Amino acid sequence: MFGNNQIYDRNYLFNDSFKTFLDKDGSFQLDIYEYLLKPNDLNLCDLDNGEYYLLVQLPGQTNITRQRFDITVENSTEYWRIKNIESSVILPKNITKDSLFVVKADPIYWSRAFPIEGPGAYAGKKAMDALVSELSQSWVEDRFITTSFFLEPIRCKQDSVSFTANQLEGNVPLTVQFFDNSTFNGTGFLWDFGDGTTSNERNPNHVYNKTGIFDVTFTVNGTGTDGKEKNPLRKYNYIIVKEISPQYYDPVADFTYAKLDNEPLTIRFIDQSYGSTPLTYLWSFGNNSMSTEKSPQHTFPSVGKYAVNLTVTDQYAKSNWTSRVVPVPPMNSPVANFEYNLNSVNPLQVQFNDLSLGDISSWQWSFGDGTGSSTQSPTHLYNDYGSYDVTLTAGNRLGSNSITLKLNIENPLVTAGFKWTNIGNRTVRFTDTSQGKISNWTLEFGDGNIQNFVQNWNVYDHKYSQLGNYYAKLTVENEYNKDTYSNQIMLYRNDGSNPI
């Protein structure tokens, strides 16, 4: 029998030493006091008010000389009979004084089903439901019936020890207010809270500072109206103190993938999982290959489709997995192509960049000056300015392909120069004689006026405001070099006299 409240100082009542007979109509009557309370040294007044659950169990095998239960309790007559007589039966480990279990045979190996006494013990309806679930299994031959009843307040001639608490479960630190509900006034009180601390207050307030499941024992000194001292009341597994659980999301496994350029049959897998870090990873590539990297790359043995699985596990040992079918495409024939860039400081140094298409596995360069390279995108330093035919040959297992581009490296040296001619009316015609690859010209006329050119100007006419001597200057430049040339401009009267 189980109760939603403690059955005095016990979690349950059990008796397997009685017999009863069926009435003519096939029914039988069960006296709870005679068969359960009295054998356990209890009276009706020892029961708290509330609901109780009763189960009567009959053995599946029964006759005058033989009976056998498939479900029983570790301290039952059936358990010890089996232990002492049937040596072929394998029983659970020895019973300890701090716990007691319901045990089951399936069919000769006995195992523990759930605790009914000690740490984590089932009580009340939870214990009844667990017992019914075990007895209802298909292999169990035991028969059983269940019922429940509600005990209303009753008048008892004897007094009893009783207590309650304002809360029975919570997170650490848990503050619990205990109340003395005994039916008589004691002369002294002793509370044992089960965590190593005690109190002599009648209605103490106690803080549990550690996690666990605690029995609470209450002792009231003195005698009741019947003149008798009362036994302490112990409630098993009464207070449950839990650790505050961290809030986090369950892990979710996810990934994407991409084919690696120029690496045939190789796929890069990119983890996109999330969860409570750190996460651990287990990849299965569908070809008996595994990896524990976060974002691995894998070379498959051949073209085809592979079922790739990723399992992630978070720091709380929770796991999640996902799977995708990943296609590994065939190798493409090479198509060679490249570009080049001259160095901004030294034009003789050239950076070549491979732009070839296909699954390229080899590169062969010829720089047109008798040298070459097998690097994918090399840098090369030429000795002289000039024109070079550069060839790239790209290859893989399907063959090779080549391309040749013309490379012109011009000498960046520039030389500034100009001629001037007086064409009359205070106007001077400037003719550019500069040499080199020029990108910018700056012509200063000496009278405060300046003219900039960004392309070849060849001839330019400038009119001065008055006759006289002027110092004109031309500056030419490109991204590498710069040069300047100056010349005196002399404007005279038409009669050839000195300028005024």
If pLDDT is split at 50, 70 and 90, which confidence band does 237 have? confident
Q: What is the DSSP string of 228-253?
A: -B-PPEEEEEEEEEEPPPPP-PPPB-
Among residues 242, 275, 304, the one where a domain terminates is 242
Among residues 328, 348, 381, the one where a domain terminates is 328
Parallel, antiparallel or unpaired: strands 169-171 and 233-242: parallel
Q: Are residues 167 and 119 in the same domain?
A: no
Q: Which two tokens stand for residue 113?
A: 């089903």
Q: Which two tokens stand for residue 458?
A: 């060849």
Q: What percentage of the chain reaches a pLDDT higher than 70?
A: 88
For residue range 287-307, what is the model confidence (pLDDT) as tens digits?
A: 999 999 999 999 999 989 999
Q: Are residues 357 and 404 in the same domain?
A: yes
Q: Are residues 227 and 170 in the same domain?
A: yes
What is the pLDDT, as a whole number, of residue 249?
A: 77
Residue 366 falls inside a structural domain: yes
Q: What is the mean pLDDT of the chain?
A: 86
Task: Return the beta strands (E) in 384-500 as ranges.
Answer: 386-396, 399-409, 418-424, 427-432, 440-444, 450-453, 459-463, 468-477, 482-491
φ, ψ at 85 (rounded to 5°): -105, -50
**Longest pairwise C-alpha distance within the chain:** 162
Measuring CA to CA, how many Å separate 371 from each of 54, 374, 388, 390, 499?
98, 11, 11, 10, 64
CB within 8 Å of 406: residues ≥ 6 apart: 387, 388, 389, 390
Q: Are residues 88 and 221 in the same domain?
A: no
Here the CATH number for the domain that contains residue 345 is: 2.60.40.10
Q: Are residues 81 and 63 in the same domain?
A: yes
Model pTM greater than 0.75?
no
Q: Are 428 and 462 in contact (CB under 8 A)?
A: yes
What is the pLDDT, as a whole number, of residue 494?
A: 61
Measuring CA to CA, how many Å separate 157 from each of 44, 154, 230?
11, 10, 13
Among residues 216, 242, 268, the one where a domain terminates is 242
- Look up the domain containing 73 and give its range: 2-151
What is the pLDDT, as a whole number, of residue 404?
A: 96
Burial class (CB in 10 A: 0-12, 13-18, 19+), 481: middle
For residue range 44-81, what is the model confidence (pLDDT) as tens digits?
A: 777 777 788 999 988 876 655 556 788 888 888 777 77
- Which run of H or of E encompasses 363? strand 362-366
For residue range 162-188, what is the model confidence (pLDDT) as tens digits?
A: 899 999 999 999 999 999 998 888 899
φ, ψ at 32 (rounded to 5°): -60, -40
Q: Are residues 20 and 129 in the same domain?
A: yes
Residue 477 falls inside a structural domain: yes
Determine the residue type at 187.
Answer: T
Measuring CA to CA, how many Å separate 464 from each of 422, 461, 486?
11, 10, 17
Q: Which two tokens stand for residue 279?
A: 């996460």
Buried b (16+ CB within 10 A) or exposed e, 452-462: ebeeeeeebeb
For residue range 138-159, what is the model confidence (pLDDT) as tens digits?
A: 888 888 999 988 877 555 556 7
Q: Are residues 143 and 32 in the same domain?
A: yes
Residue of higher predicted confidence among 13 and 31: 13
Give the C-alpha separation, 218 to 203, whole Å.
11
